[in-house]
Structure 1
Amino acid sequence: MKDPSSLLFIFDFISRQGESVLIDSTIDPVALTIQLIIIVLGLVFSALFSGAEVAFFSVINQQDLLIDQDTKGSKDRMIAKMLAYPRRLLATILICNTFANIVASVLAAVVAGNIVASFGLSEVFIYTLEVVVLTFMILILSEITPKVIAINNPLKSARQISSFIYVLFKLLTPLSSLIANSTLSLEERLPKPDSKMTSEDIMTMAEVSEQEGSIRSDEREIIENVIEFGTTTVREIMTSRVNIVAISTDDSLNEVLQLIREKGLSRMPIYDGDLDNILGVIHSKDVLPYINSDIERTTINWRTIARKALFVPSTKKVDDLLRDFQQEKTHIALVVDEYGGTEGLITLDDILEEIVGEISDEYDEVEESLYTKFKSGVYIFDAKIDLDDMEDILHTELTAEDDEYETLGGLVYHLTERIPNVGERVYYEGLELTIHSVKNNRVKKLRVKVQERPKS
């Protein structure tokens, strides 16, 4: 090995081998052209299948537009046949699209390898460049662009490509059916997601939709009312005992007719002695046959025309009561407490107003305002105002979920634990509540001033 002639022989051999490798690795222009053509065809077919996927599955909800013209009837029938098996159609399109992308990717790698071998460039650089360029071309040319074109006019795109896809749909039936059935079987075995949309999620969506202008504020309120409907109890929306308009068995026909005229009610409970002894419900229309008689002398046994009353506990949910109204075919129910005494009254209108808001007709009198605001910032509230409405007026929190009272009067009784005197003051949640008037041992009105509670 130390002989100079031997070293010359080795160097000459290596140089000859390098020349032969260089010659062997020279790019064949014909082969390169064929490879590039196949890569382009792979990208074109990939774009075709990507557009077909969007077009067909956009038309799936517009099948009523198919076969609307004789010239397009055959294509529409092919589209309808394929859409009858959506899983098979999707499997067919994905198989073909995946095959086209694989062919383009493999040949692109071969071309990149030839370039590396021929010009001695860095393998990392060439293959990185190949991946970046091919990814960009597949995304832009074979995915995004055809899908945008197809989604703009899916029916037209589906008709243009229907014949070609239909042939593949038939040829690949065994393979596409196997894949479709396998995915269906796998889907059945996968655990079902436990996450469910809660009522809070729906209310949040409604608020966001209102802010974006998708729905109006009254529509959002209806959505929220429907969600809260199932948790609302009868006690929360009933007419309290002290406000019940009822007929006594001792009332004369003239007194009943006068009550109907004054109150404009179509249904009123009838009692014997006191409201704890409700006998039934009198309908105003049942009194009409007696209106032309001698009112002063006519005596009616109200028990004979009274209809059966529906009695419900105050803790009953409003949605359950609505079903009771539907089953019993009635519009009114008497609310009783745990001892069987009459606690209040509730009608179908009360339930509907809980969903859609206040319902009035042309015969309703203008409702008396339950509060008055003075320039000084002082309010005069009726004791029967609902605390939820008072919260909206004063923009403050006054209630909790476990509260057993619903009105301002109930709050005052809860705080004082007795019947308060006129002029007496109570402080609660930054409010100064002053008893304005009391009638028949019942608080009627309160003076309310928003201020910080004085420090003791």
Structure 2
Amino acid sequence: MSDIPLWLQILSLTGLILLSAFFSMTETALMAINRHRLRHLAKRGHALAKTTVWLLERTNKLLSLILIATTIINAMITALVTALAIEAFGNNDKVITIATAAIAFLLIIFAEIAPKIIGASYPEKIALPASVILQPLIKLAQPIIWFVNLFVNALLGLLRINTDKPMHDHRLSPEELRSIVLEGGNFIPQKHKSILLNLFDLESVSVNDVMTPRSQIEALNLSAPIEEIQSQLTTCYHNKLPVYEGEINHIVGVMHVRKAMALLSRDQELTTDHFRQLLTPPYFIPQDTDVFTQLTYFQENREKLGIIVDEYGEVQGLVALEDIIEEMIGEFTTSMPGDARADTFSWTETGECLLEGSTSLRDINKRLNLQFPLTGAKTLNGLLLDYLEEIPEANVCIKIHHCIIEIVQVQHQSIKIVRLLRIDA
């Protein structure tokens, strides 16, 4: 070592430390980089991203190269510092101990902690350029990597660790995808984020949550006088009507109002049979079907309207394809006047909100930012009846989840109008 100038030895030591720092920083950056964004860049033709993907598909070889290089470099640094210390202060145990401690401190600070923090902070900026260097190094060091991995694989085999499986499974669960959307911040527009979150919730929402309740269904009774049927057809709001005979549990079909209007325009005496010929078979849905499954059924059966029935076959409500679409992207269709689900409602300046008892609890939670339970009753009326366990009189108040609910009007054994008063928690 005495033949080598001191400045060259110090320069070599600095270069080795920087090289060790490079491998440590690159390793952390490659492991911390966003794989999904990386694949997106690669699909768009980004050359550095393609190279980085190539490296990450060979994680075993990549880690082997980095660890072999780091170990050899650190060993060379230790040997060089020890030689410099002996040359300067003599061959003494204390000198060697102090030199070893000093180089350990230098490696921890300058070749481990600081580079790894930088790599974790700027993974994409570091990993992409570094991949250009690492790819040819892997090819050049292939014999060494193969030789070292012989012993590594033998050891892992003794430990019964299966090395054939990929080191990382990058498939995401719906919950993880939901978290990614929530953490998207300003990268995802608020409307897009809302739609994506609604899509994730479809399997946890049943058709009961989005249906038009039985009491609000506009249906046609074939047992009614012809004049009444004609009057209802000319004033109805929807383009499809469920048709029943006698009582609504006996639904016999669905009528397209346009076809009925064409029939009414004819100058002839109409009978019930004329309208019966226009009916299409009804499509029934079990009440516990989740919304996503029902959307699939609508698509497979080419249906747009379904009658929801319970386990006894009694009609509970009606759900249309538009209801499911609105659940995903928000309301966009016109609705029947007086339909509580279509009304826009919000808190007043005094923290009050007047609602119909038939308003959906899910709509209330979404629009008013409340936390009413959704596991039982589906409407505000049902929630109050569950809590009170009786049909109350008007001017009764109850507190539920930081909200005072005042019953304003009771009509026909149900709560018609309520007033909500927000309580700041």
Q: Distance in 2 between matches of 1:221 and 1:146?
A: 33
Q: Does 1:309 align with 2:310?
A: no
Give the match's secondary structure for 1:29. coil
Task: Determine the structure 1 residue equivalent to 2:355.
Answer: 381
Give the C-alpha shift of residue 287 in structure 1. Answer: 3.6
Q: Could you say if the C-alpha distance between residues 289 and 156 of structure 1 is closer, same or farther in structure 2, counting changes exceeding 3 Å? A: same
How many residues are aligned here?
408
Give the match's secondary structure for 2:218. coil
Q: Does 1:246 align with 2:246?
A: no
The match for 1:178 among 129, 132, 150 is 150
TM-score in terms of structure 2 length: 0.70
Task: Determine the structure 1 residue equivalent to 2:419.
Answer: 448
Paired AA for residue 341 in structure 1: E
Q: Distance in 2 between matches of 1:141 and 1:39?
A: 18
Q: Could you say if the C-alpha distance between residues 188 and 140 of structure 1 is closer, same or farther in structure 2, counting changes exceeding 3 Å? A: closer
Task: Determine the structure 2 residue equivalent to 1:359.
Answer: 332
C-alpha contact (below 8 Å) 2:405/2:421 kept by paired residues: yes
- Unmatched runs of 5 consecutive residues or more in structure 2: none
Greater shift, 115-124 or 383-392, is seen at 115-124
The match for 1:266 among 217, 223, 239 is 239
C-alpha contact (below 8 Å) 1:105/1:134 kept by paired residues: no
Q: Distance in 1 between matches of 2:231 and 2:109?
A: 86
C-alpha contact (below 8 Å) 1:48/1:146 kept by paired residues: no
The match for 1:426 among 377, 387, 396 is 396
Give the match's secondary structure for 1:400. coil
Task: Determine the structure 1 residue equivalent to 2:305.
Answer: 332
The match for 1:87 among 42, 48, 60 is 60
Q: Does 1:235 align with 2:202?
A: no
Paired AA for residue 247 in structure 1: L
Task: Determine the structure 1 residue equivalent to 2:378.
Answer: 406
Task: Determine the structure 1 residue equivalent to 2:74.
Answer: 101
Q: Distance in 1 between matches of 2:337 and 2:360?
A: 20
Q: Which residues of 2 match residues 135-146 of structure 1 at below 5 A?
A: 135-139=108-112
Give the match's secondary structure for 1:226. helix
Q: Could you say if the C-alpha distance between residues 255 and 105 of structure 1 is closer, same or farther in structure 2, counting changes exceeding 3 Å? A: farther
Paired AA for residue 332 in structure 1: L
Q: Highest CA radius of gyration, 1 or 2?
A: 1
The match for 2:140 among 168, 173, 177 is 168
Q: Could you say if the C-alpha distance between residues 365 and 235 of structure 1 is closer, same or farther in structure 2, counting changes exceeding 3 Å? A: closer
Q: Distance in 2 between matches of 1:128 and 1:146?
A: 25
The match for 1:284 among 238, 257, 260 is 257
Give the match's secondary structure for 1:381. strand
Give the C-alpha shift of residue 139 in structure 1. Answer: 4.6
Q: Distance in 2 between matches of 1:370 and 1:76?
A: 48
Give the match's secondary structure for 1:230. helix
The match for 1:320 among 265, 273, 293 is 293
Alignment deviations for residues 360-418 of structure 1 (CA, whole Å, 9 cap, x no partner): 25x97696747798888765432212234445677665x43553x32233345446656
TM-score in terms of structure 1 length: 0.66
Give the C-alpha shift of residue 343 in structure 1. Answer: 1.8
C-alpha contact (below 8 Å) 1:51/1:149 kept by paired residues: no
Q: Could you say if the C-alpha distance between residues 307 and 83 of structure 1 is closer, same or farther in structure 2, counting changes exceeding 3 Å? A: same
Q: Could you say if the C-alpha distance between residues 190 and 65 of structure 1 is closer, same or farther in structure 2, counting changes exceeding 3 Å? A: closer
Alignment deviations for residues 175-212 of structure 1 (CA, whole Å, 9 cap, x no partner): 26637866986354999999x998777767655x37x5
Q: Could you say if the C-alpha distance between residues 177 and 282 of structure 1 is closer, same or farther in structure 2, counting changes exceeding 3 Å? A: farther
Give the C-alpha shift of residue 230 in structure 1. Answer: 2.0
Q: Distance in 2 between matches of 1:387 and 1:192?
A: 45
Give the match's secondary structure for 2:280. coil
Q: Does 1:344 align with 2:314?
A: no
Give the C-alpha shift of residue 278 in structure 1. Answer: 0.6
Give the C-alpha shift of residue 298 in structure 1. Answer: 7.2
Q: Could you say if the C-alpha distance between residues 434 and 357 of structure 1 is closer, same or farther in structure 2, counting changes exceeding 3 Å? A: same
Q: Could you say if the C-alpha distance between residues 394 and 101 of structure 1 is closer, same or farther in structure 2, counting changes exceeding 3 Å? A: closer
Task: Quote the sequence identity (%).
Answer: 20
Q: Does 1:226 align with 2:199?
A: yes
Alignment deviations for residues 223-273 of structure 1 (CA, whole Å, 9 cap, x no partner): 443343322222222211111111222468886675455344232211111
Q: Could you say if the C-alpha distance between residues 227 and 78 of structure 1 is closer, same or farther in structure 2, counting changes exceeding 3 Å? A: closer
